[in-house]
A and B are shown apart, each in its own frame.
Chain A
Amino acid sequence: MRELLQTLVRLGGADYIEVRVEESHVTSLGFKGRDLDRVGKSIEFGGNIRALTNGGWGFVSFNDLKDLEAKLQLACTQARLSARSEGGQLAAVPVVEDQVALDVAKDPRRLSLADKMALMGSYNDIILSYGGPIQSSSVYYSDKHSRLYFANSEGTYLEQEKLDLAGGATAFATRDGNTQLGRVGFGSSRDFAVAEGQEDQVREACRQAVELLDAPVVTGGEYTVICDPRLAGIFAHEAFGHLSEGDDVAENPSLAQVMTLGTRFGQPFLNIYDSGLDAGARGYLKYDDEGVLTEKTYLIREGVLVGRLHNRQSAARMGERPTGSARALDYTFPPICRMRNTCIEAGEATFENMLAGVKLGLYAVDSYGGQTDGEMFTFSAGRAYMIRDGRLAEPVRDVNLTGNVFVTLRNIDMVGADFTAHEGPGGCGKWSQSPLPTSEWAPHIRIRNVVVGGNK
């Protein structure tokens, strides 16, 4: 492979050329209710060539490695066609040659399909035998083992092995046309053990689904909200992570002005970073998809904007350093600026401190996901409880939070000491590249004046 790829990128025809080949083996299985829904094995084999000329990119993706020279020529022709008159260099990075082997704890490839089926089946059985209004279940698991080969015209050559696994279980409680859910989820880039020992959490998901049947829809309005670590992580990702993606900032002068380094965004106890270095996290990566070593990148330090997530082109345009944030969903897409593991650093508050003094508020736990348009973000809580006079009170359902990122970051008035490294099964979407494995770690946080949707 090395010979093939390095020979190809040396043929020239553009300012910069890179080629990538990927072979992934995916095992997936799922139960829905009493039935096994699916079990399958997929082989995803393919590659791409990306060429840059005067800032314009050509990109060709394929499954078939025949006629690579013709594909290179097509990429170079497209790059020339999209070339612009000015700019478009890549920031200089060290030329590297490396082989990255997997560092696995419990390797899912060493387990038989029967073992994985039995484990997930046991979670399904817990849900279906829970009784009461628990009507159905959904349990799924998948693991993906990839070999990536990357060469560029600067001489970098990488071979990397990667692992990503994710799964979860959902309990469905139904009564009188009302269906409510309780969920657990897990993920890892190095250890099948995260899938094991979920029995208590699965039972807890059943209890939560049943509890929600009697919960009223939250009354819409403005609340002080305490977010649990999972939801706080999604908040950091949706509200601020996307805004920190350098490709948008670099090309949009007004946005660059709003995102001027040194601008204050939060109070001095707010620290947000994005890191590729956390082994085991689904957002872990040694090199990004441009062959750049990843790092821990502070975005907000002591409340002040200090960095952003760059690929080589956005870094060059802004005169900043590449951060190893160029990621592609797979060989069918070019790498773009993405998050890895987005974290809110631990603060000093305890949960009791946060509750104290909240006359009417919400404690929002876990998340179904969220979305942002840059400035306004929204995310849904998995479940939520009212806070009344400083104490947790009754559960409420269908809690969606929204806010303006700038206002909301300023309104974070407490950051907890209980930093939690939870890995969920979900993924991130940007420009039709979804779901990309990312991680979001955080402690509890408290936010003032959050708008919550719901009945009046």
Chain B
Amino acid sequence: MLEQVIDLALRSGCQAAEAYSQSVNETPVEFENNRLKLIHSRVLGGVALRVFRDGKVGFATTTRLTDPQLLVDNARAVAEFGAKGGFDFPGLAELPAVANYDRQVLELPVETMVERGQAMVDTVTAYDPQVMTMAQVHRGRGSVRIVNSSGLDIEYATTYYGLVCGGLLVEPENFLSTWEAEFSARLQGDPVALARDVIAKLKLGKTNVGLAGGKYPVILTPTALSECLGPLTACINGQAVYRGISPWRQRLGEQVAAPVFSVYDDPLRPYGAGTVPCDDEGVPARRLPIIERGVLANFLYDLRTAAAMGAGPTGNGKRESLSDLPSIDVSNLVVEGGDSSFPAMLRDMGQGIVVDQLEGAWSGNLYSGQINGVIGLGYKVENGEITGRVKDCMFSIDAFTAFKDHIVALSRERKQLWDMLLPYVLLSEADISTSS
């Protein structure tokens, strides 16, 4: 169908055209409150069309695949009002080989998925029948095809497999909620081990301890770190740089973080959840240093922003959904590990806080660098040991200062969280606000 769409677009007076199709076939199996609740089968697909007409961009999408002419008419009509183009669609280029497909994922019977979900529920329930367990087993196949009038014709498929396990313990005015998840392009992960991780957190969170507000050393778990990276990804976005709102816009080559802190976008990482051979505009994927030993190394660009900035595209043109135009995003965000470990950090910290789950840290003005989140799950540490759960506390850092001046150590061990690979981080200080 894509060739037909391109052909129709060019014949209707467009000078260039790009058609992108995406299809998904996935089967989530969902347990809620200790019981199998829903088996879902999703078979979805659609086409997005981007055209240049008289130097302006037109864009339309459809999931009604029976009417290509309407898609073309919509894109063409919109182009009259569209943004200025200023870039060309890329031609055919050699794509890197990536490992992002595992046939075994697709061969997994639904019955086995149900068994694995049940195994997670049974494991947590055996620990404490009062805990309400949620479990999900996901498997799916996605495929993408991009064809444009510059001669590009790319097609690739990915698979993904994921396990999610969470537990909720409700006592009067005392809720304890925690979860663990593992996603990959291949069949990996042990449901029972994941459920045991949840149990470990439920145990640590069982006893509440008091905490006075003030400055504390803090260990961010990979989960908490993922909630604190918003300002960083906002500031390295080429469009925020182009618009002059990124505080880092003139700091390329400068020290913006501690020398131990290195961040990459690595779309080539074997079996990552965001592993792809090219971005959603057909630009070949490559491993891109973002911050190298604390020095700001690159901004991320899609085709349009790269052209506007006179830079080369970095392969970060991503479509958030089929109906969105490509915009800038990462594939697999990787923070390099250090030479410490979580147990060593606990020992080294002595007194302080472990922050694991943060709620609401994403909200607010990312460009200010200020992170504020309520500690959904966090622990007090005394004499190098976790003594109990801290509650009703707000965690605050200025991410720019924290990652530059307050990093004491990073752990060797890292955790894959969706499309991120992150270590534990020990910070010398963070502000904790509590009720008096």
Interface on A for B, CB 8 Å cutoff? 23, 26, 29, 32-33, 35-46, 56-64, 74-75, 78-79, 81-82, 84, 113-114, 117, 135-136, 172, 174, 177-181, 217, 220-222, 247-248, 251-252, 254-255, 257-258, 332, 334, 367-380, 397-398, 400, 402-404, 406-407, 449, 451-456
On chain B, the residues within 8 Å of A334 by CB distance are 38, 40
Total number of B residues with any Cβ neighbor in A under 8 Å? 89
B170 touches A254 (CB 8 A): yes
On chain B, the residues within 8 Å of A23 by CB distance are 64
Given contacts A32-B243, A36-B82, 8 further A-B contacts (CB under 8 A): A39-B78, A135-B243, A179-B246, A252-B170, A371-B360, A455-B396, A456-B213, A456-B214
Instruction: Tell which of B111, B360, B368 touches A370, judged by Cβ atoms closer than 8 Å.
Output: B360
Nearest residue (CB) in A for B234 is A179
B394 touches A251 (CB 8 A): no
A379 touches B360 (CB 8 A): yes
Instruction: Tell which of B62, B170, B247, B368 touches A398, judged by Cβ atoms closer than 8 Å.
Output: B368
B41 touches A402 (CB 8 A): no
Q: Known: A81-B111, A251-B35, A452-B433. Contact between A40 and B60, CB under 8 A?
A: yes
Query: Complex Cα distance A82/B41, Å?
Result: 13
Instruction: Tell which of B82, B177, B436 touches A222, judged by Cβ atoms closer than 8 Å.
Output: B436
Closest 6 CB pairs of A and B: A453-B394, A400-B372, A378-B360, A220-B433, A251-B33, A179-B367
Which B residues, 167 to 211, have Cβ-Cβ distances below 8 Å to chain A? 168-175, 177
| Chain A CB within 8 A of B153 CB | no
On chain B, the residues within 8 Å of A454 by CB distance are 372, 394, 396, 431, 433
Instruction: Tell which of A174, A371, A404 touches B359, judged by Cβ atoms closer than 8 Å.
Output: A371
Minimal beta-carbon separation of A180 from chain B (angstroms): 7
On chain B, the residues within 8 Å of A247 by CB distance are 32
Query: Complex Cα distance A172/B242, Å?
Result: 13
B360 touches A44 (CB 8 A): no
Query: Complex Cα distance A75/B362, Å?
Result: 37
A136 touches B65 (CB 8 A): no
Pick out which of these stretches binds chain A: B12-20, B43-51, B87-95, B289-297.
B43-51
On chain B, the residues within 8 Å of A368 by CB distance are 363-365
Nearest residue (CB) in A for B173 is A406
On chain B, the residues within 8 Å of A251 by CB distance are 32-33, 35, 132
B435 touches A81 (CB 8 A): no
Minimal beta-carbon separation of A398 from chain B (angstroms): 4
B334-376 CB contact bits vs A (8 Å, 1 = yes)? 0000000000000000000000010110111101101011101
| Chain A CB within 8 A of B36 CB | yes
On chain A, the residues within 8 Å of B32 by CB distance are 247, 251
Residue of B83, B171, B177 with most partner-chain A CB within 10 A: B83
Nearest residue (CB) in A for B170 is A254
B245 touches A136 (CB 8 A): yes
Query: Complex Cα distance A402/B242, Å?
Result: 35
Nearest residue (CB) in A for B392 is A404
Query: Complex Cα distance A400/B160, Å?
Result: 36
Nearest residue (CB) in A for B178 is A373
B364 touches A400 (CB 8 A): yes
A398 touches B168 (CB 8 A): no
B210-247 CB contact bits vs A (8 Å, 1 = yes)? 00011100000000000000000000000100111111
B39 touches A378 (CB 8 A): no
Nearest residue (CB) in A for B56 is A36
Instruction: Tell which of A78, A257, A456 touches B39, judged by Cβ atoms closer than 8 Å.
Output: A78
Query: Complex Cα distance A187/B213, Å?
Result: 39
Query: Complex Cα distance A32/B302, Å?
Result: 15
A252 touches B132 (CB 8 A): yes
B431 touches A455 (CB 8 A): yes
A179 touches B247 (CB 8 A): yes
A451 touches B435 (CB 8 A): yes
